[in-house]
Amino acid sequence: MKKISIICAVAIVSATALISCGGNETKEQPVTEQPTSMVEEPVGPIVTTDSTVTVHIEGDDQMKYNVNEITAKAGQKITIHIKNVGKLPKEAMAHNFVLLKSGTDVAAYAEKAIAAKDVEYIPASESDKVIAHTKMVGPGESDTISFDAPAAGKYDYICSFPGHYGIMKGVLIVQ
């Protein structure tokens, strides 16, 4: 019995959450440690609420987006934040986000975009194929756009910088 009392005393000193001593329960909350459920979880690149979808897309020097699929529901407001996290000069490596209408020939659009350097590779002649697009962002730059989710369906999005669309592409799925 003496031994149990000693263990009990040690346990109280260490302030564990639940201490049971010979039938007498003593509950103590640890002072310094927070329960793990209170720890804020890291926020991913896509945050969805009932009415909004917010996407943080990054483009890098490896010509990659960090987000290749976005899911939304008709009627939600979609916000796209694009950031170029690379370091290469803008003339060599810049990125945008161009959301195309369903049924658009992506390769044909990208081909036209190559000739549209003066307007950040967004060809005016193809504007009827574009639902929304950001600015072309160079290293460290970012841009934000918002638009209403289109009707249910699948929509391709690409970076229209020359040579990028083959890798820098994704799909918006509206349910």
Least Å distance, CB 159 to Cu ion, is 3
Least Å distance, CB 64 to Cu ion, is 9
Q: Does 83 bind Cu ion (CB under 5 A)?
A: no
Q: Which two tokens stand for residue 152?
A: 């249910």
Q: What is the number of the residue whose Cβ is closest to Cu ion?
A: 159
Restricting to residues 117-146, name those near Cu ion by CB under 5 A.
none
157, 110 Cβ separation under 8 angstroms: no
In angstroms, the CA 90 to CA 137 distance is 7
Beta strands in the chain (DSSP E): 18-21, 24-27, 46-48, 52-59, 69-72, 77-84, 98-100, 130-133, 142-148, 153-158, 169-174
Q: Which is nearer to Cu ion, 80 or 174 (CB)?
A: 80
Q: Does 95 bind Cu ion (CB under 5 A)?
A: yes
Q: From 100, 111, 110, 97, select the one nearest 141 (Cα to Cα).
A: 97
Segment near Cu ion (CB under 5 A); pick from 24-32, 81-89, 122-130, 154-162 = 154-162
Q: Which is nearer to Cu ion, 133 or 164 (CB)?
A: 164
The only residue of 56, 112, 129, 164 in contact with Cu ion, by rule CB under 5 A: 164
61, 88 Cβ separation under 8 angstroms: yes
Least Å distance, CB 78 to Cu ion, is 20
Q: Does 168 bind Cu ion (CB under 5 A)?
A: yes
Binding residue count for Cu ion, defined by CB under 5 A: 5
Q: From 12, 11, 17, 37, select the one nearest 29 (Cα to Cα).
A: 17
Residues at the contact surface with Cu ion, assessed by CB under 5 A? 95, 159, 161, 164, 168
